Amino acid sequence: MLIIIKIMKTFKYLVIFLTVLFLSCSAQPQQKSIFVANWNLENLFDTKDDPNKNDEEFLPNSPRHWTAERLNNKLKNLASVIKFMNDNNGPDLLGVEEVEHKYILETMIKKYLNNKNYKIAYAESPDHRGIDNGLIYNSDLFKLIKIEKLTIPLKNNYTTRYVLHVIMEFRNSKLHIFVNHWPSRREGLKKSEPNRIAAATILKKSVNKILDKNSNARIIILGDFNDLPSNISIKRILRAKEFKCNSISGISKNDLFNLSFKIFQEGEGSYRYRSHWNMLDQIIVSGNLINGKLVHYKCNSFHIIKPPFMVEHNGRYEGYPLPTYGGRKYLGGYSDHFPVGATFLFN
């Protein structure tokens, strides 16, 4: 009899324990949104000479004196901005540009961003300076399926960054992410414009191929496009439309929508050149991410991310992002671009 009573008591305590455990687990807040961002990290080079790349400007013995100490300081600074995103929760997807090698991002994550289970999708590009595009993602939410590299054919065999196409599994469905860093305007707007039109043409072909197979495809296009939302490459070739939150009904799933268009029209920008703000960094999505059944864009959530500690507060460059260098002078800052971000809600 005593044995039966002891067994019953043990069973009772086990039931109580399992009930408490179940309630505590079920009480944990479930993630109801994802935060997507993009940032040009501005010359994130290592300190080693790559004989196949034009990286001599960023070496310890160069005029810039790019040392391991300065690199580490930059990684720490970049991580502080990344942590600041999404109300200090960090992004779930972050497209990055101007990175020399994948292991630099891995070092930053290991040392300064280990609060989330971040992983990296990356591909070395043929860019003559050796700078590439990458995607940092929260592997608790996303599973990497495949990486593709879209080559941009330019005249005179000039090489530029690949468009990085990352295919993710997200809630038992596919998510296509394109990370872009289109050719610069260094030669002037008109002379260099055909290069960005070429990039837009290649990207549009890839997007159309996806949508032809599945009109419900979820596509996110991130990057530093070196063009404005109103330029030919984005508005006419890529056909990324202006999006207004009061006109969600009738959205076509086969169309692309530029989430940055509204604040671009209001005169804001992510990069400042000669006193003019330029919206070079953008987020563009397919129609199924505007009013889709699984996840949808939170209206007017697209914004330029400006942590107070990253902004110049005095002098000639007041309001600018604080870069790593001002000319050849070391400033110990962050980047010459502000990041951009947007929120997507789960239905």
Each of the 347 residues of the chain gets a pLDDT tens digit; together they read 444 444 445 445 444 444 444 444 444 456 789 999 999 999 999 999 999 899 999 999 999 999 999 999 999 999 999 999 999 999 999 999 999 999 999 999 999 999 899 999 999 999 999 999 999 999 999 999 999 999 999 988 888 999 999 999 999 999 999 999 999 988 888 899 999 999 999 999 999 999 999 999 999 999 999 999 999 999 999 999 998 887 666 678 889 999 999 999 999 999 999 889 999 999 999 999 998 888 999 999 999 999 999 999 998 999 999 999 998 899 999 999 999 999 999 87
Any domain includes 48 = yes
pLDDT in the model for residue 294: 87
Residue 119 makes CB contacts below 8 A (sequence gap 6+) with 136, 137, 139, 144
- Tell how far CA 53 is from the center of its chain: 24
Q: What are phi and psi of 245, to 5 degrees?
A: -65, -20
Beta bridge partners of 36: 93, 342
Any domain includes 215 = no
DSSP string, 80-99: HHHHHHHHHT--SEEEEEEE
Any domain includes 296 = no
Any domain includes 88 = yes
Tokens matching residue 253:
């799933």
Any domain includes 51 = yes
Any domain includes 83 = yes
Any domain includes 322 = yes
Tokens matching residue 281:
């960094």
Domains in the chain: how many in total?
A: 1
Q: 281-296 burial string, b = 16+ CB within 10 Å, else e?
A: bbbbbbbbbbebebbb
Instruction: Give the range of the structural domain holding residue 66, as residue numbers without chain letter.
Output: 38-109+309-337
Any domain includes 49 = yes
Q: Which helix (H) or strand (E) holds 44?
A: strand 33-44
- pTM, to two decimals: 0.90
